[in-house]
Amino acid sequence: MTGPQIVWTRIDERLLHGQIRITWGKHSEANLILVANDEAAEGPNAAFMQAGMKASAGGEYAVRFFSIQKTIDVIHKASPKQKIFILCNNPTDVARLVEGGVPITHCNVGNMHYHDGKRQIAKTVSVDKTDILAFEKMVEKGVTCTVQNTPDQTPINVLELAKTAA
């Protein structure tokens, strides 16, 4: 059996919303969006979060909400027919997936909002030391990490951006 067919992995603090469905879903040719996020899968507001995200998917995609650990545990059982778009809201979760054996080769960084303690490295991306360490772990495991808000933009290496913005 071959591994899971992961067609796109994206970090977007907003998780599943209209831009994902309209732009990235079509671009990636995914048929399943996997929201890998502990809070959305099992948190106290999970049902509310899931309802809003399912509505954003517009019925065009199968949508799953798994914790990071459940994603690691079950991703290799995916059907070969599933073209999986993994969606996380921070680089630490993607790094955990990679370290757990999820075969991610590219991580697209879209929206990581500015918060206290973070510095802006691109129009829609702000990072702190924890984020940088997570990206470094991914790169060490062979994952390409690029900032690209929409498919028509040129992808830019996230660690290069972080160095020049230092």
Is residue 17 annotated as a catalytic residue, yes or no?
Answer: yes
Helix ranges, 35-90 (H): 38-42, 46-57, 68-74
CATH number at residue 30: 3.40.35.10
Structure tokens at 163: 């160095």
Q: Are residues 91 and 98 in contact, defined by beta-carbon separation less than 8 angstroms? A: no
Number of domains present in the structure of the chain: 1
- Looking at residue 140, its amino acid is E
Residue 104 lies in domain: 5-164
pTM beyond 0.85: the answer is yes
Q: CA dihedral in degrees (72, 55, 80, 30; nearest 10)?
A: -100
Q: End-to-end CA distance of the chain, in Å?
A: 45
pLDDT for res 166 = 63
Between CA 58 and CA 6 the distance in angstroms is 21
Nearest to 91 by CA among 4, 13, 7: 13
Structure tokens at 162: 């972080």
pLDDT for res 147 = 97
Place of tokens 């996020």: 37
pLDDT tens track, the chain, 166 positions:
578 999 999 999 999 988 888 899 889 999 999 999 999 999 999 999 999 999 888 888 999 999 999 999 999 999 999 999 999 999 999 999 999 999 999 999 999 999 999 999 999 999 999 999 999 999 999 999 999 999 999 999 999 999 887 6
Q: Are residues 86 and 9 in contact, defined by beta-carbon separation less than 8 angstroms? A: yes
Q: Which among 17, 76, 106, 113 is annotated as catalytic? A: 17
Residues linked to residue 66 through DSSP beta bridges, in sequence order: 36
